[in-house]
Amino acid sequence: MKILSMGDRIRPGRYAVRTRYNRSILLLSPSNRVLFVVDRSIGPGPLNILVNQPDKFVDGETLRIPRRLETPRFDSAMPPHARLHLHTLAARLHTALPRHAPPESLISLFFPRRRMPIRQMARDTLFRQAFEQLADGDLAGGIRRIRGCGEGLTPSGDDFLCGWMLACRLKRRPSLARDILREALGQNAVSNAFLELSAAGRVNIAVQQLLSSPSPARVRMACSFGHSSGADLLCGLYWGLPFPPPVPPEP
């Protein structure tokens, strides 16, 4: 089966199927390197092999990626002109995130609802405590408080940190992104992979297009990734962009 696109951060080697989803397959190498085989609805990404039918492409339990593979490569770098749109990007996120982010996502930090599940309220309280630590200069303590916070393949806290590191890269603060990464890494191989990508300024096609030309439609598209992962990443990006960052209101 033809490979339509292959991420530029995929390493050669043998990978084993970890989980099969409706539109993608997660594979891990013996050293916990991450690989996704995805369909067109997900699109290119730094760790994505894009094919028409993932289940037919990976018809067994392992997949070998050779050292040399003649196939189109997706360049996952952030657009070089994205820094010219920072204020526009922040404005688009401010207006479009409340409309397109799932209500259970971290959007409730910035636009709280009157009634929320107890678990979501507790999560948001933890984040506000972390923001207080960060404001006091306790970078390590604040990051560790939200690292791994949440459920799913990549917890909300890790997705948020990914977005924050992208904001650091956009604001020409790569050293801060590296400092965040050092404290953010944990035991989740998938989270670690995305955290490392964000610290290096590597993104999927939806985020790349949003950074290139911010619009409400592109905010919506980025929010569609995962259950709330895309929205949680954008919340971290939104928090990290303004000068100073927005202060989450109390519910």
The encoded tokens of residue 103 equal 């209500």
Residues 6+ apart with CB under 8 A from 195: 158, 161, 162, 165, 181, 184, 185
Three-state SS sequence of the chain: CCCCEEECCCCCEEEEEEEECCCEEEEECCCCCEEEEECCCCCCCCCEEECCCHHHHCCCCEEEECCCCCCCEECCECCCCHHHHHHHHHHHHHHHHHHHCCCCCHHHHCCCCCCCCHHHHHHHHHHHHHHHHHHCCCHHHHHHHHCCCCCCCCCHHHHHHHHHHHHHHHCCCHHHHHHHHHHHCCCCHHHHHHHHHHHCCECCHHHHHHHHCCCHHHHHHHHCCCCCHHHHHHHHHHHHCCCCCCCCCCC
In this structure, the chain runs to a length of 251
State pTM to two decimals.
0.94
pLDDT at residue 223 in the model: 97
List beta partners, residue 26.
Answer: 19, 36
Residue 244: HSE in the Cβ half-sphere, 13 Å Cα cutoff: 5
pLDDT at residue 84 in the model: 85
pLDDT at residue 245 in the model: 55
The encoded tokens of residue 67 equal 């050292």
Residues 6+ apart with CB under 8 A from 98: 107, 110, 111
Phi-psi region of 230 (alpha: psi -120 to 50; beta: other; left: phi over 0): alpha
pLDDT at residue 246 in the model: 64
Confidence of residue 197 (pLDDT cuts 50, 70, 90): very high
pLDDT at residue 113 in the model: 85
pLDDT digits (tens, 9 = 90+) for 153-180: 999 999 999 999 999 999 999 999 999 9
- pLDDT for 52 beyond 60: yes
Distance CA 92, CA 242 (A): 12
- pLDDT for 244 beyond 70: no
- pLDDT for 18 beyond 70: yes
pLDDT digits (tens, 9 = 90+) for 107-144: 999 998 888 999 999 999 999 999 999 999 999 999 99
Place of tokens 């960060």: 134
Distance CA 128, CA 142 (A): 10
Q: Where are the domains of the chain?
A: 5-74, 82-240
Cβ burial 83-105 (10 Å sphere, 16+ → b, else e): eebbeebbebbeebbeebbbebb
